[in-house]
Amino acid sequence: MNKLFLVSILAASLAVVGCQRKAVPTRSTAGPGTSTPIADPASPAVRATNTAFTYFSAKGKAQITLKGNEQGANLNVRLRRDSIIWVSGSLLGIEGVRAVLTPDSVRVVNRLEKSYFVGGYDYLSRMLQVPVSFAQVQALLLGDYLPAPAGTKPTVVAEAEGQRVSYPQEKLSVNRLLSAAGRVQQLKLEEAATGRRLTVDYADFRALEAAAGLPFAHDLNVRAEQPKASTTARLNFNKVAVGERLEFPFSIPKGYSKMK
C-alpha cells in the first residue's frame, strides 16, 4: 500500500487533469498575465504558450497500476509557482499520504504506516527511473513547455497544426508535441541506454475561465516503463481553480518513523 500511494502522489505531482467537467473559477480571477507565450532562446521557431498564474489547485481521482496491482486514490493538489507543490492522497475520506515538494526538498508523510520521508529529488528520480527536478514536476503539473538547456538547439518539426520539439538533456531524449495553441499535448522522456521511458499524454483541453480562457488539459495518462516493469496512471480532476491564495499545511506527527 505504501508504494502504491507514493506512486499516486508522484503521478498527481506530474500533472493535473479532469474528466468531462467544467473548470471551476475562483472567487477572484487571476487577471492579466495568466498565460504567456514562451520563447525558446535556442530556437525562435518554437511556439509554446505557458501558464503564468501564481496559485493553482485541483481535486479529483487517480487510478494507478503497478506490477499488476491497481489502486485508486482521491487527490487534492495545490501549487504556488516556483515555490511549493502540495499533494494529499486519500481513500474513503481518510488521508493516507501528504507530500510537499519545494525547489530543493521532498517531504512525505504516510499516515497509513505512521512513517515519513525527508530528502531530495534523487528519491523521486529512483522511483521514476528518470532524473526529476522541481521545475520539471511543475511543468508537468501545469502542462507547460520547458526550453532546451543552454547551448542545446532543439529540433522543431511541423506536425498537423502544431509542432514536435525534441532535444537531448543529460542522458535523456526529451520530446514534446505542441498543439496549435502552443500547449503541450504529449511529453516523452527516454533513456536509450537503459530502455527507460516516461510518456505523459494530455487530452480533453478546456478553457479555464479564471485564466483568460487558457486551454488546460483535463485528461491525462502517465506511463513509466523500464525493461521488466511498467507503471501507469490515469488521472481525473473534477475541480480546477487558479488565482486564489492557498495554504500548504504540513507536519510530521510525533512518533512517526523515518522511511528507508
- Separation between Cα atoms, residue 33 and residue 214, nearest integer Å: 11
pLDDT (0 to 100) of residue 41: 59
Tell me the percentage of the chain whose pLDDT exceeds 90: 31
| Cβ atoms 232, 219 nearer than 8 A | no
Residue-wise over 146-178: b if at least 16 C-beta within 10 A, else e?
bbbeeeeebebeeeeebbbbbbeeeebebbbbb
For cell 510518456, name the residue.
199
pLDDT (0 to 100) of residue 187: 93
88-126: per-residue pLDDT in tens? 988 878 888 899 999 999 999 989 889 998 988 887 677
| Cβ atoms 199, 223 nearer than 8 A | yes
| Cβ atoms 177, 184 nearer than 8 A | yes
Element (H, E) at 71: strand 69-80
Task: Show the domains of the chain with their CATH numbers.
Answer: 2-24+35-246 (2.50.20.10)
Residue 197 has a CB neighbour count (10 Å cut-off) of: 19
Plot region of 212 (φ>0 → left; ψ -120 to 50 → alpha; else → beta) = left
Distance separating the N- and C-terminal Cα atoms of the chain = 15
Q: What are phi and psi of 155, to 5 degrees?
A: -95, 125
Q: What are phi and psi of 12, to 5 degrees?
A: -65, -35
pTM: 0.81
Residues in the chain predicted with pLDDT less than 70, given as ranges, are: 1-42, 124, 127-131
- Separation between Cα atoms, residue 115 and residue 96, nearest integer Å: 11
